[in-house]
Every structure is written in structure tokens, then in C-alpha cells.
Structure 1
Amino acid sequence: MDLKHKILALTVLPLLLAMVAIGALVQHRSTQLAEQQVALIEENFLLTKRAELRHYVELALSSIEPLYASGRNDEATRAQAKAILRELNYGDDGYFFAYDTGGKNLVHPRQPELVGRTLWDLTDPQGRHVIRALLSSARDGDGYQRYSWQKPSTQQVTEKLGYVVLLPRWGWMLGTGIYLDDMERATAQVRERARHTVHSTLLGLGMVALVAVLLVFASGLALNVSEHRLADSKLKAMAQQIVQSQEDERARVSRELHDGISQLLVSIKFQFELAQHQLAQADPAASASMARGLERLGEAIGEVRQISHDLRPSILDTLGLSAAIEQLCQEFQRRTGIAVRVEQLDPALGLERHQGSAKAVALFRIAQEALTNIERHAQASEVRLSLVRQGNRVVLCLSDNGRGCPPSVWQTSPGIGLRNIRERVEHLAGDFEWQSTAGHTRLSVSLPLEREALL
């Protein structure tokens, strides 16, 4: 994955993670609020139903109160009380029931098949012992008990809230109950609304995330296109610079060949023609003419060597970078008269095994270019140079005491020399630093060593 894709991923992933976290938080909070609302509905509903159940049971007790208060315990009195209870109904599913303390059913208007049966071990679908729990609640509790029972109007087993009281003298448990399916429907509606709200919210967050991701991709695409255009323009400018540099170098070599080698060869030709003529005339001066011709021929050979050295110094391939830099400094001082002080020249740079490596050539060309810039523009009297190894890097530093150049000038419109140096350094993944003030200019280049050079 390249840098652009990494940046895009680092932009999109936190956004998506934030959306997921917000969605999870919204879902959690919505569920919590829904459950709190359900609990509140159940609490209010049950409070209302408890009061209603107590009122119903009090009505039933008042109906059989004359019989129970008479003090009679005979079967006829009890049968009369059972008949009254069977006739007491409210609503479609409201009725009264009675059990003895052993769990035997005495009254059940809606399920008469249960009358006379002992239901002590009867359990509901949740495993609760219904009659035991009702008797226990009547004796020790507040009389209220939740359980599941068949609803007469629908024949479906439904959650029910019962309320019972004891008639100790007869050994009866009298009670009634209200089915809670209305409450269950209300709470189910609350939960369904909460789920719908969460779904809508998550859908909205998903749409926002999608739009945001599309905007990020669109911005990245626009930036990518802009960078490609900028890179293309830079490549075109670089290509023009390279072509121009090649043309300048060809022009320089052409001038040196024309002004130097060509004139020397013409002069040598004339000198040897003169010597040939003098030999034909048996002129004693022929020997002197031949000697001058040979001298000129030696100068021509020297010119050829100098041009060859400027194009590619052979010492760089034979003795290495340090020796080539030292020779370059000596020739620069001899040619220009500018003093060159080599402060530090490390012979063990880690490039000796690769004398023709791109980094060795680059460092030599950078030093050559820097000295050329000093000669042309700096008006300096002294140059300081160091070439050292620092850890796994090679560092080349040059400084001079010339007139300097303001940063606003070289940063906005750097010359071809500085551009060449910067591009060489960037191509080799190195660091480039250039500082210039009046009386002091410093160039520093740091290149990483090859892995094999570190061994």
C-alpha cells in the first residue's frame, strides 16, 4: 500500500469507527430508555391493577359476608357461598375462584372441570407452582402473585396477576385475577418503537457515513489528480532541465574541442608541415620545428585528458571517492586561486567496495557542482570541506566566506546547480541542507549507506 492509500485509509477508518461507535452507543441508549419506559409502564399498570383486584375481592367478600359472619360451618352454608361466587363475574374474563388449604379447587366458573380436583402440584409454562404460590402469598405475603393461566376468551395461556385472601374458619382461599396481555402488548409496542427508532437512526448514520466516505474519496481523487498534474509539470520541467544540461555540457565540450584541441591540432599540423619543408630543404632548423610540434602534441594530449577527467575522473574508479575529492580540491585551488581547506576526509566511508556506485558518483558531482557555484558566484577567498561517515550515513559539507545569497532568492528561484544537487540527493533518499548569509554559506548533504557497505 502506497502513501496515498495509507493516508486515505487513515482518514476513512477513524470516520467509520466513529460512526460504528456512535451507532452502538445510540442502540445501547435507545434500548436502555425503552426498557426504562417498559418498566415504568409495567409499574403503573400493576399499581392500577392491584388496586382494582383488591376492590373486586372486597366486593366478593361483601357478597358472602352474611353467610361467613353467621358463624355456621355446615356444608349447606358453604354451598350457598360457592353459588354466589360462581355468579359473580366482571368483564369477559373476570371471575372468582376458591381453593381449600390442600389445593383442592372449590369454585371455578370458567373451568368447571377443575372443581373437586387437587391442583397442589399444578405448574405453569414457566415452572411456577401456581396454587402453592397463591396459598403462600395469601398466608405470608401481600396476597398478590403472578403466574400463567388459560384466558377464557382466547383459550391462550397468558400472564396473569392474581390477588387472594384467606377465610380461616372455612379453610378457604378466595381470589381473582386480571390477565396482563394488555400490558404485554403495550410493552411490546414500546420495544418495537425503540427498535424502529434505532433502525432509523442507524440507517441515517449509515447514510451520513456513506456521504462522508464519498466526500473523502472525491477529495482524495481531486487531490490525486492535482498531484499528478503537479508531478507531470515537475517531470516536464526536470526533463527540460536535463535536456538543457546535456546541451550545455555538449556546448562546453564542443567549445573546448574547438577552441583548444582543434586549434592545437591545426598548429601541430602547420608545425610538422614546416618541419617537413625544412627537412626537404636540408634546413638545420627542422629539428627545432619538430620539437615544437611534439611539444604542441603533448599539450593536445593533456587537453584530451583534462576533458576526459572532467567528464568522468578515472581516479574515482581506481582510488575511490576520498582521493577523487582531494584531487578535485587541489585542481580547484590551483585553477582559481581560492584556498581550499580539507578539514576532514575520511578514507573509510563504506563505499570503497563499490567505487563506481551511484552514491559515490553523486557525492563527487555534488562537490564538483558546489565548487563551480563558489567559483562563479560566491566571490570567496576560502572554502572548507569535510567528508565523513556518521553511523550508517556519509556526510559531505562545504562552506565558504563569500557574499552569500538571501534565502528568499534561492528558495523561490534556485539556480540549475542547486536544483541538480537537490534532485540528486532526493533521488538517493538523502538529506539536503543549504544555509547562506553574508560572509558564510554552508552546504550539507547526507546519504544513507548501502546495506552491504555497513558490513
Structure 2
Amino acid sequence: MRLKLKVMLLAMIPLIASGGLIAVAQYQQEQLLAQRQEALVRRAYIESARADLRHFAALALSTLSPLYNTGRDDDEIKQQAMRQLAALDYGSDGYFFLYDFDGVNLMHPRQPGLVGRNLLKLKDEQGQYPIQAMRDLARTGGGFVDYRWNKPSTQDIAPKIAYVTPLPRWNWWFGTGVYVDDIDRVVADLNQALAASTASTMRWIGLIMGGGLLLVFGGGLWLSLHELRMADAKLTLLARQVVGSQEAERAHLSRELHDGTSQTLVSIKLLTEAAMDRLPPEETVTRAALGRAVDRLTAALTEVRGMSHRLRPVMLDTLGLSAALGQLTDEMWAHSGTHATVVVEGAPFDLPDDIKTVLFRVTQEALTNIQKHAQASEVVLTLVFSKGGVLLRVQDNGVGFDTNAVLHHPSRGIGLRNMRERLDSIDGQLGVQSRPGATVVLADVPESAVLRFASA
């Protein structure tokens, strides 16, 4: 595993672990908060309900007090009190009920069928005796009772809280109650809101953790790309240095061949010719041998000069790229049936040595490929100078080739790859188009590259 990947994992794993622990802790805290909130809401709701019941009971007592305090115990005053108590109505589920201390229901505005019945032995769903419990509390002065009773608005059994108060002289006790099943809906709504808040918090934790991971990953990717660009820049610089070193060595060999070996051969040729001139006419055999030597020296001299020009043509440094390309075509096609021409378009300007060298080598490689494979009868070299840079086009009318197959074949296309690498070293681009009868090699060097190498 690479060191960079290890560093990224070392940064990401603690981030994931810490994010997960934060999420778990947050979830547990939310659950604890939900339990506390539910208990608090239930307690507050019950306390509020009990306060309302005390208020309603006090209101009923204030209504009955004028009748009760008269001291009368006859049926007429009691019936009047029952009617006033039955009229104290506060909603579909808010009413007063009236019993005597024997457990007989005297008045029930919502369930008249219970009137006249002794309900002390009536059980609720939980097996409790609510009427008996309320009667016992009324004997001690009153209080609250929790039980389950039929809810008039829904006809369902629901939890209820009742508050009872005695009227001892009349052997009565009455009460009222509120149904507290709404608290479950309130708690459910609060729990749902809290769950939504928890989910939102979890999403934020996930987004923050994901953002952190993306930041780490993006930083690692940026570093990788940065190092890759630096490596590419170093490789490009190394390629340029290699090409420059090669060209310098070629130039050195060219000068050595031109100034050293070539001059030596010229001297030997002159000495041989001078020796031939001093021989007597009758030395025909010696004269013939020296003549053959002179011919061999002339051929060797021509070959050395050709090698010198191919390594580094003098015209490339003295007269420029156009003249060097003309000399190159003349040397390569002088003794063949192929017609080669060089065309210059635009106003020529001086090019940096690196660009001239690369374009010359690209042309040399392209012409060599044409000579070996194209079977062309016509070759046109076009050098275009413009404000956008310089463009070199090498076109022939040969048999053509499959560019994709050549470029992707492991053992073919070496020349094309060399041309592309050379152009990449000067920020240029290579284009190749080929079909039978027309193959075009384009070498495009933009103005920015020309200016950069000119100022280097």
C-alpha cells in the first residue's frame, strides 16, 4: 500500500469513527430527551387538567351554594339543584354527575340509563371500582380519581380524571371529569417532531462527515494531481534536456565530420591527385590505382558530408528552417522519381533553435517514413507562418495506412510516437490523417510556445 493511501486512510478512518460515535451519542441523547419530554408533558397536562377540575368544581359549588345554604332538604330544592347541576355543561365530554353515598346515580346528563342504578360494584376495564373509589374520597372531603370511562363524543373507553365533592347534609356527592386520551396524541406529535429533528440532525452529521471525507479525498486527489503535473513537467523538462543533449551531440559530430574528417579526406584526395600528376606517362598501372583511390575518396567525402548534413545541417543554423527543409528534400529525393517541393506561406520570422530543431526532425522522420513505406510520386512540404504560430504540413500521394492500427500497435508507429513526443516537448501538437492517395502529417506550434522559447 502506498504511503499516500495510508495517510488518507489514517485521516479518513478517525473521521468516520468520530462521526459514527457522535451520531450514536446524539441518537441516545435524543431518545433520553424524548422520554423526559414525554414525562414532563404528561405531568404538565395532568396538573393542568386537575387545576381545571378544581375550578369547575368550585364553579358548581358556587352555583349550588344558594340552594344548599337555605337549609331546606325537601325534594323540590333538591330537584332544582339537580337541574342547575345538569345545566353546567362545558363541551360534548364535559359534564357533572351526581350520586348519593349509597352509590345510586341520581343524575347523569350523558348516560341517562344509569340514573337510579347502584354502581358501587361497577368495574372498569382495569378491574377497578371507580364509583366506590369516588364515594370513599367524597366521604373524606373529596379528591381526584383516575379511571377509564365511556367517552360520549367517540363512544370509546378512554382514560379520565374526576374530581368529586360532597354535599353531606343531603347525603350527596357530585363530580366532574376530563378525558386525558388527547395527551397521547400530543405526546405522539411531540415525539414525531423530535424524531424529525433527530433525523435532520443525523443528516447534518452525515453531510458534515461526508464533506470532511470529500475534503480529505479531494485534498489527496489534488495532491496526487499536483504531483502528477510536477512529474509531467519534470518528464517534459527531462525530454527537452535529452533532445537538447542529442542535438548538441549531433551538432558536435556534424562539426567534427565537416571540419575534421571531411578536411582530412580533402587533403588526402589533393595529395593523391598531386602524386598522379607527378607520375610519368608510362606508369599506367600506378596511375589507374591512384585514380581508383581518388574515386573512392570522392565517394567517401560525399558520404561524410551527407552524414554531417543529416546530423545537423548548417543551413538550419545559418539560413533558417525553410532552407534546411529544401536541402533535406533535395538530398533525399535527388536520385529518385519522386517530385518533392517546399512551399512557404506567410511572412517568415526567426524561430527559436528548439522549435526549428523539432520541426526539422519531425520533417526528417516523416520523409523517411514516406521513402520507406508510402510509394509516393509526389511530396509537398508546406511551412505556414502566421500570428497564431507556425504550422508544418507534410503531404504525399502514397498508399496510406490505418492510423489507429499503427498508433496502437506495440511494435509499429515508433516514428509517429517520436514525432508526437518531440512536439510535446515544445508544447506543439501532432495530427495525422491518412487514406490511399493522401496522407497528411501536421505539426502545429502555437504562438505561446514560440514566444516562451524565444524568451528562454
Q: TM-score range by the shorter chain?
A: 0.3 to 0.5
TM-score (norm 2): 0.46
The TM-score normalised by the length of structure 1 is: 0.46
